[in-house]
């Protein structure tokens, strides 16, 4: 999944060295495929993409997709030592952390010249409601144009710098984002009503 | 005229018929479908017209590229909500008498894509359907069966009287409202004049 002799860690440190202030995190995939990816902050996404294309020869963007992460609460059990009635005991505590939702876009990059790939990069929006802008990578990989339009159409991610950001599957005037987790289709299904009775 | 008498007369070389029978016989053997496919069912429809299954045996080999010259619309495949207004508009542009075959699970009800956000839950929500064929996709034999069912329907149509078909009743519509793109889906979600709402049917 990496270029010959180059790991994701190498790409990460190279991006951080070349682009001042660029934040790159390694997103570890714990499944057997172990397809790890790089999370790039959205302010430096376009600059990082240019480096990936021009210097890493990642000349082909095969796939652009998006993921909707709704607000969630992570519950971790933490063992802490406390003194109860003068005796030190180990007590399990549940620590709940609220993680605000965000939208994430995923690019799969390949190198045709080196016959390697994919290198997976991700970018995340600030939230799911009003700050949903991400830099468009269409100026770097032309093949991203329609797929970014699809992500805009179905998830509501606004790509800054996209040459022609319109809905691609649904019609103009449609106001919902059907692939979001909280999408509710219109109640035009009478059989659903029958099934509930 | 009674059937027995007709048979007896034909034994003597006399052929007796009615204008209605002659007219319907001509119509049922020259039903020209519209060249119009929506999804994978269209592939089966194309196969039906080719040499192996040969829909031409039933007088329907002439697929017309213009709705103005077509008698039959075969809704072959998934009708997306974005496509539905165009399907209704094509139907409206066909001259009477016109017929509709809803081919396959999608055209009948939305099929496996019924819960999709962009899939119409059956074309019978907007236009009257004469024959429904189940299947995913239906085999060419099934389409031919549907076609023969339609031929039987045509030959049984009466030109006069209360039970005459829709296109001979001046007060009944031959065009149906084209749905509009709304903010959340098609508006209206169905044409209540046409759609037999299963909920209302059950309630009686």
- State the DSSP H helix or E strand holding residue B181, giving kind and residue range, or none if neither: strand B180-181
Residue B38: pLDDT band (50, 70, 90) is: very high
Residue A1, pLDDT above cutoff 60: no
Neighbours of B119 (CB within 10 A): 21
> Which site among A188, A195, A196 would you substitute to test the B interface, given the most B Cβ atoms closer than 10 Å to its Cβ?
A188
pLDDT digits (tens, 9 = 90+) for B69-121: 999 999 999 999 999 999 999 999 999 899 999 999 999 988 999 888 899 99
Average pLDDT over residues A158-173: 93
Residues of chain A above pLDDT 70, percent: 92
Q: How far is A167 from chain B (nearest CA, A)?
A: 12
Q: How far is B12 from chain A (nearest CA, A)?
A: 58
Residue A90, pLDDT above cutoff 90: no
Q: How far is B145 from chain A (nearest CA, A)?
A: 28
Which among A170, A176, A190 has CB closest to B199?
A: A190
SS3 B204: coil
Q: What are phi and psi of B192, to 5 degrees?
A: -65, -20
User: What angle, 0 to 180 degrees and rounded to 10, lies between the N-to-C axes of helices B140-155 and B19-28?
Assistant: 160
The whole-model pTM stands at 0.84
Per the CB < 8 Å rule, is B82 touching A171? yes
Closest CA to A154 of A132, A139, A137, A138: A132
Decide if B140 contacts B148 (C-beta within 8 A).
no
Residue B61: pLDDT band (50, 70, 90) is: confident
> How far apart are the C-alpha atoms of B22 and A124, rounded to whole Å?
71
SS3 B148: helix
> How far apart are the C-alpha atoms of A68 and A180, rounded to whole Å?
6
Q: Determine whether B141 is exposed, middle or buried from the number of CB atoms within 10 Å of its CB (0-12, 13-18, 19+).
A: exposed
Q: What is the ipTM of this complex?
A: 0.76
Residue A2: pLDDT band (50, 70, 90) is: very low
Per the CB < 8 Å rule, is A194 touching B202? yes
What tokens were used for B133?
A: 């064929």
Dihedral (Cα; B1, B3, B8, B13), 10-degree rounding: 70
């Amino acid at each position: 999944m990496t270029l010959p002799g180059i790991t994701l860690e190498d790409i990460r440190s190279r991006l951080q060295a070349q682009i001042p202030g660029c934040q790159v995190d390694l997103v570890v995939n714990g499944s057997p495929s172990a397809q790890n990816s790089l999370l790039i902050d959205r302010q430096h996404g376009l600059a990082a993409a240019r480096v990936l294309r021009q210097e890493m020869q990642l000349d082909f963007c095969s796939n652009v997709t998006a993921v909707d992460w709704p607000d969630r609460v992570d519950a971790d059990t933490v063992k802490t030592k406390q003194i109860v009635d003068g005796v030190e005991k180990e007590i399990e505590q549940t620590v709940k952390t609220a993680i605000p939702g965000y939208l994430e876009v995923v690019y799969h990059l390949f190198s045709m010249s080196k016959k390697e790939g994919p290198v997976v990069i991700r970018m995340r929006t600030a939230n799911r409601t009003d700050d949903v802008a991400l830099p468009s990578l269409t100026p770097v990989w032309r093949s991203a144009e329609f797929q970014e339009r699809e992500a805009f159409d179905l998830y509501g991610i606004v790509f800054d710098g996209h040459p022609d950001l319109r809905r691609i599957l649904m019609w103009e005037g449609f106001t919902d984002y059907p692939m979001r987790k909280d999408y509710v289709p219109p109640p035009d299904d009478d059989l659903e009503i029958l099934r509930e009775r | 005229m009674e059937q027995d008498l007709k048979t007896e007369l034909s034994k003597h070389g006399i052929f007796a018929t009615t204008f209605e029978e002659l007219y319907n016989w001509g119509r049922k053997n020259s039903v020209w479908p519209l060249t119009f496919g929506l999804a994978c069912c269209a592939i089966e429809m194309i196969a039906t017209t080719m040499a192996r299954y040969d829909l031409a045996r039933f007088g329907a080999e002439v697929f017309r590229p213009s709705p103005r010259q077509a008698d039959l619309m075969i809704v072959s495949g998934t009708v997306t909500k974005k496509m539905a207004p165009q399907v209704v508009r094509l139907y409206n542009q066909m001259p009477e008498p016109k017929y509709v075959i809803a081919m396959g699970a999608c055209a009948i009800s939305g099929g496996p894509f019924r819960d999709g956000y962009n899939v119409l839950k059956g074309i019978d929500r907007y236009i009257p359907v004469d024959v429904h064929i189940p299947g995913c996709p239906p085999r060419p034999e099934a389409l031919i069966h549907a076609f023969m069912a339609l031929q039987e329907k045509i030959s049984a149509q009466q030109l006069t009287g209360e039970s005459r078909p829709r296109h001979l009743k001046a007060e009944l519509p031959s065009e149906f409202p084209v749905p509009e793109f709304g903010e959340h889906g098609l508006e209206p979600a169905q044409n209540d004049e046409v759609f037999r709402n299963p909920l209302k049917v059950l309630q009686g």
